[in-house]
Amino acid sequence: MTKKKLLFSGMAVVLPLALAMVLVLHPIRAKSEAAASPMEVRVDNFTFGPDTLTVPVNSTVTWVNKDDVPHTIASSDRVFKSKALDTDDKYSYTFAKVGTYAYYCSIHPKMVGKIVVQ
């Protein structure tokens, strides 16, 4: 075999392998991105969803107001409190300590939720 032919047959093996790697690795990356999203609580229709969210310690939880009325995120133990969130406004808090954090909306105190930090 000539040198040129050897190089060509080498490429013929490497290229499909590289392509296969991209195809195999891609769904894994998509999966890990999806795992990061449950740190979000949607405020919609006067409820927190999910109403109880369990997260590992040092997680940052983000609340997003999807309602057309303002809401607040107020910890029952006064650990954290947001300003009034208008539609699509967000509030984030990082939970550095293990524990159960009950919270409510100070405008509509019947709206309650809980963050469980493990």
CA-CA distance, 74 to 71, in Å (whole number)?
A: 10
Q: Does 85 bind Cu ion (CB under 5 A)?
A: no
Among 6, 14, 57, 107, interactor with Cu ion by CB under 5 A: 107
Among 85, 105, 115, 117, interactor with Cu ion by CB under 5 A: 105
Of 42, 44, 45, whose CA–CA distance to 53 is shortest?
42
Smallest gap, in angstroms, from Cβ of residue 72 to Cu ion? Answer: 6
Window 48-77: residues binding Cu ion (CB under 5 A): 71
For 35: left if phi > 0, alpha if psi spans -120 to 50, otherwise beta; the answer is alpha
**Residue 33 corresponds to which tokens in the numbers above?**
């991105």
Is 55 in contact with 116 (CB distance < 8 Å)? yes
Smallest gap, in angstroms, from Cβ of residue 87 to Cu ion? Answer: 12
State the residue for tokens 């590289």.
Answer: 18
Stretch that binds Cu ion, among 1-9, 12-20, 53-61, 99-107 (CB under 5 A): 99-107
Question: In the complex, which residues of this chain contact Cu ion (CB under 5 A)?
Answer: 71, 105, 107-108
